Amino acid sequence: MKRTQNDEKPSKGRMSTRREFLKGSGALALTLPALARGQAAKAGQVPPRDPREPVLAYVGTYSSPQAPQEPGNGKGIYLVEMNPSTGDLRQREVFKNDQNPSWVSLHPSRKYLYCCNETETYQGAASGSVSAYRIAQGSGRLELMNTVPSGGAGPAYLSVHPSGKYILVANYGGGTAALLPVEPNGTLKPASYIHHDEGQVGPQHATSAPRGNFSISGHHHPHVHMFHADPTGGRVVWTDLGLDHIFVAEINLEDGTLSPNSIRSFALPPGDGPRHFVFHHNGRWMYSVEEEGSTVVQWDYHEADGMLKKQQTLSTLPSGFAGTNFPSEVRITPDGRFLYVANRRHDSIAFFAIGREGRLSRIGEEWTRGDQPRSITIDPTGNFLYSLNQHADAVTVFRIHRESGRLAFTGIYVPIGSPACMVFLS
């Protein structure tokens, strides 16, 4: 969502050379093992998944122009299946949506999928929207159930509360965090609560930005960029890129509201712009990535009172880098040993080992083989990492070395227009 004044690509440093070519991707038919699992699921008996059976996933895309340099080449939400041996993705079906279904999230029951439609207006109002889909067991096909306002303009992120009762929406353009109730049948109701961030916006130039950074900052008003439950489900956490703060508040699951008196705020360096975060599986550590400052910050999280304590700050870029960069996503492997950050403009994935007390040590970086990695995703087994390269119209696939955490490019390019987000169903 950021614009830059410098269109030259920074050096890739020690990353791999560009010698790979696009590989085609065709549709695969529904496999017999998947059919058997679907029938068993209807009977209430789901057998262990055959490791040879393809794994289903959904890819959200930008499907309408945001700016001349961001045309929106996607067609909607893509259903793909992953080969668990190679990591390859094969497109199975596309569910048309021309309203930028840029972020998708699954209900805990795996019966429903939700997407935020990243637009500035919906039905004449200054709001984006959120759509609810029913997932067909076995096939993974989507059926649109309903669409409601998102509670603010430009929703860039959503998550489902672990209770399954609410959708948590980060409205980037509107600077709001909204809670949308989920009906028992998976459909959505209008927002039960909308929180408007207020406060002093940060400077246009980030405190921690690399030398030679020419980015045009998003610090002109509040920008809520991520909204997610904490590990207990009793609190919610959101980032505001414009205010340079992370907020934590208690959630009332009975009426879908936040307790204003419970809101705590935690500051980042002025202008650094917190974007996304991830909790470690132990619930005690949280890692945030700062879009303007090109940093990853490790926090200690106290579940008892919702307090965050900053412990470590590291650059997401190689030593000596100079130029413009925007980190986008942060992920942790299922075994909790390694952390990955996607860098846009530098077009790399930085990787770190997670050590004692959650501290990070840098291992290295790998070229994404594509421009503008909007997000990265790790498959449920922890064997593969996927880079969703928005401006390259391709998803690239990397194998994760389980002992070292290093990435090895598989040679696989999956052509999808303006990919933005990917979630695994299986």
386-397: pLDDT as tens digits: 999 999 999 999
Q: Are 229 and 218 in contact (CB under 8 A)?
A: no
Could you write out the DSSP letters of every residue in 366-403?
Answer: EE-SSS-EEEEEE-TTSSEEEEEEGGGTEEEEEEEPTT
pLDDT digits (tens, 9 = 90+) for 308-319: 999 999 999 999
Least confidently predicted of 36-50, 145-159, 354-368, 398-412:
36-50
Q: Where are the alpha helices (DSSP H) in 223-350?
A: none
pLDDT given at position 409: 98
Query: How far, in Å, CA of 209 to CA of 322, rounded?
Result: 9
Query: How far, in Å, CA of 208 to CA of 412, rounded?
Result: 35
Q: Can you tell me the mean pLDDT for 42-57?
A: 62
Higher-pLDDT residue of 15, 134: 134
Higher-pLDDT residue of 54, 245: 245
Single-letter amino acid, residue 209: A
Confidence of residue 152 (pLDDT cuts 50, 70, 90): very high
Compute the mean pLDDT over every residue in the chain, rounded to the nearest whole number: 89
Query: How far, in Å, CA of 233 to CA of 28, rounded?
Result: 38
Residues in the chain: 426
Q: H/E element holding 191?
A: none
* Distance (Å) of CA 378 to CA 230, 340, 382: 20, 9, 6
N-to-C CA span, the chain: 30
**pLDDT of 19 over the 50 cut:** no
Q: Are 407 and 349 in contact (CB under 8 A)?
A: yes
pLDDT given at position 82: 97
- pTM listed for this prediction: 0.88
Tokens in use for 181? 């109730």
Q: Can you tell me the mean pLDDT for 375-385?
A: 97
Q: Can you tell me the mean pLDDT for 346-359?
A: 97
Pick from 316, 171, 206, 297: nearest CA to 246: 297
pLDDT given at position 54: 76
pLDDT given at position 51: 64
Contacts within 8 Å (CB) and 24+ apart, 47-51: 49/426, 51/84
Helices (H) and strands (E) in the chain, counts: 1, 31
Higher-pLDDT residue of 353, 19: 353
Q: Are 386 and 368 in contact (CB under 8 A)?
A: no
Dihedral, CA of residue 134, residue 136, residue 137 and residue 139, to nearest 10: -140
Least confidently predicted of 47-56, 118-127, 151-160, 237-246:
47-56
Query: How far, in Å, CA of 63 to CA of 178, rounded?
Result: 23
Q: Can you tell me the mean pLDDT for 242-246?
A: 98
pLDDT digits (tens, 9 = 90+) for 22-39: 333 333 333 333 333 444
pLDDT given at position 215: 76
